[in-house]
Amino acid sequence: MRAISLLISAVTLASPGCQPEPAPSPPPAPPEAASDQGLAAFETVYSVLQHPRCLNCHPAGDRPLQHDDSRPHGMNVLRGPDDAGHPALKCSACHQQANQGLAHLPPGNPAGWRLAPREMAFEGRSPRALALQLKDPAQSHMTLEASIAHVRDDALVGWGWDPGPGRAAVPVPRAELVAAFQTWVEAGAPVPADEEEAR
């Protein structure tokens, strides 16, 4: 009888429905090579986000920046409560739906003109600070996947490659930026070391 009981127990334990569910294994950390590749890709992302065409609409304060030297916007233009200009001087008062045909005239875009929210400032950010900001939805206002779509599809972002006469376009092709952003994210969005840590 004991042998039969042991045999029944063994058969029961061997039955597929009686096996305990294995604990899910944690996702593997990106290999070091992928992390290095991601950090190299982020250098491209960072260089574009620090270019005046991006930086000028992502200021740290309440004044937009302008020109290729990212100087504070003239005429005391201010952010305003909706990031589209102070009620007395909205961005749309000067920035129309398209670029003007001459240099030094206000640029335009069919998507409209506005500043990025204050939390999305690029001005003054180190590579490490900017990477951490992009990874934090509370600051970036979007997921990393949405950020990729933003740089790939948004019309106002696209203006950086067609800024009109008298302004330097972003030198990195847009498709190259998107690919670099994608590579960084797929590598686990590694964060550059702080400059002090790197010394």
Name the pLDDT band for 26 (thresholds 50, 70, 90): low
Name the pLDDT band for 27 (thresholds 50, 70, 90): low
Nearest to 143 by CA among 134, 152, 151: 134
pLDDT tens column, 103-127: 989 999 999 999 999 999 999 999 9
Nearest to 114 by CA among 152, 76, 158, 58: 58
Task: Determine whether 138 is exposed, middle or buried from the number of CB atoms within 10 Å of its CB (0-12, 13-18, 19+).
Answer: exposed
- Opening angle at CA 116, ends 110 and 122, nearest 5: 125
Is residue 15 over pLDDT 80? no
Distance separating the N- and C-terminal Cα atoms of the chain: 74
pLDDT tens column, 128-184: 999 999 999 999 999 999 999 999 999 999 999 999 999 999 999 999 999 999 999
pLDDT computed for residue 33 by the predictor:
80
pLDDT computed for residue 72 by the predictor:
97
Name the pLDDT band for 30 (thresholds 50, 70, 90): low
Least confidently predicted of 38-42, 91-95, 193-197:
193-197
Is residue 94 over pLDDT 90? yes
Q: For residues 17 and 44, which has the higher predicted lDDT (pLDDT)?
A: 44
pLDDT computed for residue 34 by the predictor:
86
Dist. CA 162–CA 160, nearest whole Å:
6
Mean pLDDT for the chain? 88
Q: For residues 191 and 25, which has the higher predicted lDDT (pLDDT)?
A: 191
Domain boundaries, given as residue ranges, for the chain: 33-190
